[in-house]
Chains A and B, each alone.
Chain A
């Protein structure tokens, strides 16, 4: 069990650029979640997958955001035309999907800074 892995750890980009983050969940965890955390706040839910199916999206996930999990393993989160307000820590978590309310285990996140 190597834990949830996220890459890159840090991303600095100019406003208007596109960015993509990757998350590798704990092996055999078929649920994968994306959260966003701003300074001094708790994580906020963005979206989650069961296997390759995206089952729920928060209204925080504007049309500039897209997430995929094509083979039910790793996931990517893309932000197009980045804005200053997108600066945050993007966290990925995974859980075993055998029923609801299984413990979610987080990675160390990707910190996005928009110049």
Chain B
């Protein structure tokens, strides 16, 4: 089955700096890669996603890049703010299947 690895497990940055989270996947048939932000006591919130026909996607301070050859994708957050502090999960699907396989999460802390 699909395996998704995520690094780092924790990340601390100063407000205004950039944060990068990296994931790798194993199934070459995967073609959909969403990123979720989860705050304490809440469910995961979709923040951005990318499909395999696109190499990069940007939404304000958030961007995601995808390297299909290397089977890895990354989340970039620029100009970080304290409210960006949360746990971030990457995920991938498996071919045409709708189910998602998630990484183990990155706890991002933005300090003042």
Interface residues of A, Cβ cutoff 8 Å to B: 4, 6, 31, 33, 35, 40-45, 48, 56, 58, 91, 95, 100-109
When distances are taken between beta carbons in the complex, the residues of chain A under 8 Å from B101 are 45
B46, A42: Cβ atoms under 8 Å?
A: no
Interface residues of B, Cβ cutoff 8 Å to A: 4, 6, 31-32, 34, 36, 41-46, 49, 51, 89, 91, 93, 96-105
Residue on B nearest A47 in the bound complex, by CB: B99
A48, B99: Cβ atoms under 8 Å?
A: yes
Interface SS of B by simple majority: strand
Chain B nearest CB: distance from A91 CB in Å? 6
B32, A105: Cβ atoms under 8 Å?
A: no
B102, A44: Cβ atoms under 8 Å?
A: yes
B104, A106: Cβ atoms under 8 Å?
A: no
When distances are taken between beta carbons in the complex, the residues of chain B under 8 Å from A41 are 104-105
When distances are taken between beta carbons in the complex, the residues of chain B under 8 Å from A103 are 34, 46, 49
Q: Which 8 A-B pairs have the closest CB atoms?
A: A42-B102, A101-B32, A106-B43, A45-B99, A108-B43, A106-B44, A100-B96, A42-B89
A101, B93: Cβ atoms under 8 Å?
A: yes
A100, B93: Cβ atoms under 8 Å?
A: yes
B97, A109: Cβ atoms under 8 Å?
A: no
When distances are taken between beta carbons in the complex, the residues of chain B under 8 Å from A91 are 43-44
When distances are taken between beta carbons in the complex, the residues of chain A under 8 Å from B98 are 31, 33, 48, 56, 95, 100-102, 104
When distances are taken between beta carbons in the complex, the residues of chain B under 8 Å from A106 are 36, 43-46
Given contacts A91-B43, A91-B44, contact A104 B100 (CB under 8 A): yes
Chain A nearest CB: distance from B19 CB in Å? 18
Find A104's partner among B46, B51, B97, B103 (CB 8 Å cutoff): B46
Complex-state Cα separation, A30 to B17, whole angstroms: 40
21 A-B residue pairings within 8 Å (CB atoms): A31-B98, A33-B98, A35-B100, A40-B104, A40-B105, A42-B102, A43-B44, A43-B100, A45-B100, A48-B99, A56-B97, A58-B99, A100-B97, A103-B34, A104-B46, A104-B100, A105-B46, A106-B36, A106-B43, A106-B44, A106-B45
When distances are taken between beta carbons in the complex, the residues of chain A under 8 Å from B49 are 103
